Structure 1
Amino acid sequence: MEKYKAWLLLVLCNLFWAGNYVFGKYVVADVTPLWITFSRWLMALVALLPIAHFFEKPDWRQAAKAWLPLLSMGILGVIGYNLLLYSALVYTSATNAALMNALNPGVIVLFSVFLLRERISGFQAGGFVISLIGVLVILTKGHLAQILQTRFNFGDLLMIAAVVVWTVYSIIGKRLSGVPPITATAVSTLWATVAMAPFALAHPVAASHISRLAVIGILYMVIFPSIGSFVFWNVAVRMIGVSEAGIFLNLIPVFTALLGLLLGEPISWAQIVGGLLVFVGVYLTTGMLERKIAANTGAKSKLNAGGE
């Protein structure tokens, strides 16, 4: 029963994150990326700090000692990633942005090899190549032969930059010890909002009128992706582990595409083919297939040993 509860939390968690792309596309038409990021995380911070305090009961002195990595995480994960994401949505579709973001697990594995000296297998290397081909299919709209002549969508390129920024953020978080995940998010968000405040106050919220839809969109971003998704994710990870939970991240582009369809955004064959290649590549790069093969081999060996 606990596993099914974790699965439900993960489905909701990724549905909320998908909504961030869809709502972001509408909000960015009225509000600048800087003010979307600043207002979203400032309001989320009001809830994240008490949630971290009562849910994780952290040692706040330890969090204070880790100010440098948490500051770096705030600049990269809260400011950098979100500014790139919302800027990308000015130029590209929510579906394309979500498909590009699906490359994240594979890029994290690749960067871990170079920065953390982790080893990868042939399966994982091949998976990264397949994911990369999938991204190129999306970038070139299916015309791979014209890759050198194609002028890429600026928004898609910004999303690739966002993936790289999130990867570095994730690696810093991976190496951070002694600070629980929700607490790390709350403190890094605190640092980020303090850093953004002077820039946000020096620039206008929007070019002109802020629509009711934009206000609803920002409130959605605060309540669901910023607070709900992160809490649900951490609860689910505690129940079933990060490897199994990670599989559910592939639902983000699926939900984004479905929500986009409901709102009248078409899906091209290049997005479908490219997205499938990205998913297959991520499946291989994260080692899921190898673990499954190893588990099956181990089970057969035990069965044979028992028969003898």
Structure 2
Amino acid sequence: MQMGSTRFAFILPVIAVLIWSLNIVVTRYVVDFISPLSISFYRWLLAFIVLTPFMVVPVWRHRTQLLQLWPKLALLSAFGMVLYQGLAYTAAHYTTATNMGLINAFTPVFTIVIAIFILKEFPSPLTIMGCGISFAGLVLVITQGQFARLIDFGQYSGDLLMVLAVFLYAFYGVFLKKWQISLPVMVSLYIQILFALFYHLPFVYWQGLDALNADNIGSVLYAGIFPSIFATLFWMMAVQRLGPNSTSIFMNFMPIFTAVIAYFWLAEQWGIYHTVGTVLTIFGVLLAQNNRFWQKEA
């Protein structure tokens, strides 16, 4: 029984990463049918509507804590749900889903760098080496192996937007670790979604929303339910059973999942620079997080 439970626990993060990888491809697919603002707003609105019947009582039960913690939840929402998602949806107009998936795998390296300044956690020489290797892989993919063209930022605007999105998302993980918010995870997630909706309102008023239709409603439904709710829930369950260190390793499947899905769905090509860049990035991440991956879970 315990062996079956352990195997099930290992399946959870794989499913979560697969859902997030598919969402990257969905994001790329839907660029011609809905604006970044519209899909971002509809996504969180749908997640809010679906969760509300289940979260009213828990939120009321933790109202005293929420009155104290709402500034932190508001900041987490800004980094994790608005800035990251908004930039990612915009980046999808200018780059491939394959590149977006690979750049997402760079999140742990950015997290290590940001933790130096916020958590005062200084990396080991091996960690620094791993960050450098991952960065080389990232540059290789963005430039498609033509490093001499690196100074021409215009043709890499989508990739650079995605790098910025991932960099800002890294703040989300660092702040979570710094604050150790003492709330049930679903309550925290629900309130962050609520703040995300509020953040969108001025832009919705100014720019307006695209109408939902047969071309885009499927993508909105997927984004609002599976990545926003189910993937997050599966990931949290995996963290509880496997620990955060072991679970985080599974994020390295994202470039592979995304590339395979994009190849069959969007007919995106996989170049040799993708292979080399992916290997360098994943190897660098594993090397950079050597203390997290190889030490026994607490």
Task: Calculate the TM-score normalised by the size of structure 1.
Answer: 0.87
**More displaced stretch, 136-145 vs 154-163:** 136-145
Q: 5+ unaligned residues in a row in structure 1: which ranges?
A: 296-308
Quick one: structure 1 residues 281 and 9, their matched pair in 2 at CA, closer, same or farther if it must change by over 3 Å? Answer: same
Q: Which amino acid aligns with 1:95?
A: T
Q: Which amino acid aligns with 1:220?
A: Y
- Partner SS state of residue 92, structure 2: helix
* Conserved 8 A contact 1:91-1:154: yes
Distance apart, 1:58 and its partner CA: 6.6
Larger Rg: 1
The match for 1:214 is: 216
The match for 1:86 is: 89
The match for 1:7 is: 10
Quick one: structure 1 residues 54 and 265, their matched pair in 2 at CA, closer, same or farther if it must change by over 3 Å? Answer: farther
The yes-or-no answer on 1:204 pairing with 2:169 is: no
The yes-or-no answer on 1:63 pairing with 2:63 is: no
Q: Which amino acid aligns with 1:160?
A: V
* Conserved 8 A contact 1:48-1:182: no
| Aligned mate of 2:139, from 119, 136, 139 | 136
Distance apart, 1:210 and its partner CA: 5.5
Task: Calculate the TM-score normalised by the size of structure 2.
Answer: 0.90
The match for 1:299 is: none
Quick one: structure 1 residues 156 and 291, their matched pair in 2 at CA, closer, same or farther if it must change by over 3 Å? Answer: closer
Instruction: Give the 5 Å matches for 1:72-151.
Output: 72-148=75-151
- Partner SS state of residue 90, structure 1: coil
- Partner SS state of residue 87, structure 1: helix
CA distance in 1, matches of 2:208, 2:96: 25
* Conserved 8 A contact 1:108-1:171: yes
**More displaced stretch, 74-83 vs 141-150:** 141-150
Q: Which amino acid aligns with 2:272?
A: W
The match for 2:188 is: 184
* Conserved 8 A contact 1:26-1:214: no
Instruction: Give the 5 Å matches for 1:266-285.
Output: 266-285=269-288
- Partner SS state of residue 158, structure 1: helix
Deviations 1:35-92 (A, max 9, x none): 1111101111223455567899972321221111111111221111111000000000
The yes-or-no answer on 1:174 pairing with 2:146 is: no
The yes-or-no answer on 1:243 pairing with 2:245 is: yes
* Conserved 8 A contact 2:94-2:158: yes
The match for 1:154 is: 157
Distance apart, 1:190 and its partner CA: 0.5
* Conserved 8 A contact 1:47-1:227: no
* Conserved 8 A contact 1:27-1:218: no
Distance apart, 1:123 and its partner CA: 1.2
Deviations 1:193-250 (A, max 9, x none): 02212321432323xx765242111111112111110000001110111111101111
CA distance in 2, matches of 1:112, 1:51: 35
CA distance in 2, matches of 1:279, 1:53: 41
Q: 5+ unaligned residues in a row in structure 2: which ranges?
A: none
* Conserved 8 A contact 1:100-1:135: yes
Quick one: structure 1 residues 79 and 119, their matched pair in 2 at CA, closer, same or farther if it must change by over 3 Å? Answer: same
Q: Which amino acid aligns with 2:135?
A: L
The yes-or-no answer on 1:287 pairing with 2:298 is: no
The yes-or-no answer on 1:39 pairing with 2:42 is: yes
Distance apart, 1:25 and its partner CA: 1.0
- Partner SS state of residue 81, structure 2: helix
